[in-house]
Amino acid sequence: MPLPSPLVSRVGRFLVLHEESFAGVGISSNVYVLREEGSFYIFDASGHPSLLSYLASAGIHGSLISGVFLTHGHYDHVRGLESLRDYSPTAYISSRDRQLMEETVRGYPSCADISDASEVLSRLGLVSIPTPGHTPGSTCFYSPDEALLISGDTVFSDGYFGRTDLPGGSDQDMLRSLDRLSSMSVKALLPGHGHVVSECGSRHILDALSCARGMLHG
């Protein structure tokens, strides 16, 4: 069988494995990879149970993956963890989404709450931001120095935002989260789905906030 060849691009320090790479297994998320001192950190794990093969063909060996940060617990962002069990890098996810994750990935050997990630995130120049609304434990990751936001399914490019009608979703929380994100300076927007924005991310977030104010019930 030919090795999968992921669609890869780069935004700042991040390698982007675009969601189209994982076509064939249903919905998948984008996957972002950051390299720091010889270790790799993964942001979202896609919905592909063989994520590791895709990472390997992008030059990322499982033994060098030091952590996986999950924006939330939906299957299309977490199923790829299955392929990392042999190496079991710590998977960080909000405890409020842990059960949701475990509906897809049962008994992953190394899982921690996102609050335990602050030290490693700070070494990577990042902070986590709780952004409930799409799910109770939805989390964004922000690099103040780069004005770069990994936004999961909270906000996408072109004024789109995550659905709130799935279990655990909340219109009110989504409006509050978008409001919070819109007050931050964002140049690069790296969303869970759709295309990555490398300039003027804040404009996309403001558009999403104004759409949400017209559509959701706060």
The three state secondary structure string of 153-190 is CCECHHHCECCCCCCCCCHHHHHHHHHHHHCCCCCEEE
The Cα–Cα gap between 88 and 84 comes to 6
Select from 153, 178, 204, 212 the one that contacts Zn ion (CB under 5 A): 153
Q: Which of residues 64-83 bind Zn ion (CB under 5 A)?
A: 74
CB of 27 to Zn ion, least distance (A): 9
81: closest CA among 110, 105, 112?
105
CB of 29 to Zn ion, least distance (A): 8
Task: Report if residue 48 touches Zn ion, rule: CB under 5 A.
Answer: no
Nearer to Zn ion, 31 or 120 (CB): 31
Nearer to Zn ion, 6 or 152 (CB): 152
The Cα–Cα gap between 126 and 23 comes to 30
Nearer to Zn ion, 48 or 74 (CB): 74
66: closest CA among 28, 119, 20?
119
Mapped onto helix, strand or coil, the DSSP state of residue 114 is helix
CB of 183 to Zn ion, least distance (A): 23
Nearer to Zn ion, 19 or 153 (CB): 153
Residue in the structure block whose two tokens are 């270790």: 39
Backbone angles phi, psi at 171, to 5 degrees: -60, -45
The residue nearest Zn ion at its CB is: 74
Site string for Zn ion, 77-116 (x = CB under 5 A): ----------------------------------------
Return residues touching Zn ion (CB under 5 A). Answer: 74, 153
